[in-house]
Amino acid sequence: MNRKASIKIQHEVYKPSKVSKWIKGIRRLVLVGIYVSLVVIVVSFAENNTLAFAGDVERKTGVSSNSVSMKSIEEIKKEYFSGVINDSEIADYAIKYSNDFGIDTSLIVALMRVESNFNPLAINHNKNYSTDRGLCQLNNKTFPHYKVGDFYNAELNIKTGAEFLKWCIDNADNNLVMALAYYNAGYGNVSKENVGDLTLSYINKILGHKKTYDEQLTMLIGE
């Protein structure tokens, strides 16, 4: 009897006590707490870096980069060009008619910036007694069927300018430099061997603005 009792006592010595179980439970909680803390740190780091990138894009473009996935590309373009032009209506027309005539919106916007600095009432009197008017500086001799007031209609001016620019591109065999030379100096006044310095400066300004717009849009869209 004493031997059996002794064996029983030894078995009971090695049984986990309630205190031991409690200590193990505390250890598990501590480990879980450490794991959760690490997860929070990693997530916080990722969020901070994402916000930093978004802020960088916003500083460079002046356009909020809130959740590109929640917006269509056309919505982003509208927001961006509205900021560039400082006029949402003109931006809408630029997007609409550049799409209609198959040219880059950045190109027609860059052209308007150089031609009129986005002023719908811009006017320029040329040495040949012709007059350029409106956002795309349409020439009254090139478009003799328009009345003076027609040139200051923002939508009509942009539509006509985009259509004329497309015509220039087609007639230049998609050579953008020559197309802009045609637009600026007239189709019969330039050739591949004869592009004046003023026209070249005009072309470089437009292409420079277009490049900037394209780069900033790419940052916003993420393509």
Q: Is residue 152 within 8 Å of 121, Cβ to Cβ?
A: yes
Predicted confidence at residue 86, as pLDDT, reads 98
Predicted confidence at residue 192, as pLDDT, reads 67
Instruction: Enter the tokens of residue 173.
Output: 């065999």
CA 102/CA 100 separation, integer angstroms:
6
For 107-139, how does the pLDDT look when each residue is reduced to its tens digit (9 = 90+)? 999 999 999 999 999 999 999 999 999 999 999
Predicted confidence at residue 54, as pLDDT, reads 47
Percent of the chain with pLDDT over 70: 67
Kindly list the distances between the CA atom of residue 150 and the CA atoms of 87, 120, 196, 222, in Å, as whole numbers in the listed order. Answer: 20, 11, 30, 39
Region of 62 please: left (phi>0), alpha (psi -120 to 50) or beta: left
Degrees (nearest 5) of the Cα angle 197, 199, 200?
A: 65
Predicted confidence at residue 217, as pLDDT, reads 96
Q: Is the pLDDT of residue 151 over 60?
A: yes
When pLDDT is averaged across residues 83-87 and rounded to a whole number, the result is 98
Instruction: Enter the tokens of residue 21.
Output: 């179980």
When pLDDT is averaged across residues 52-75 and rounded to a whole number, the result is 59
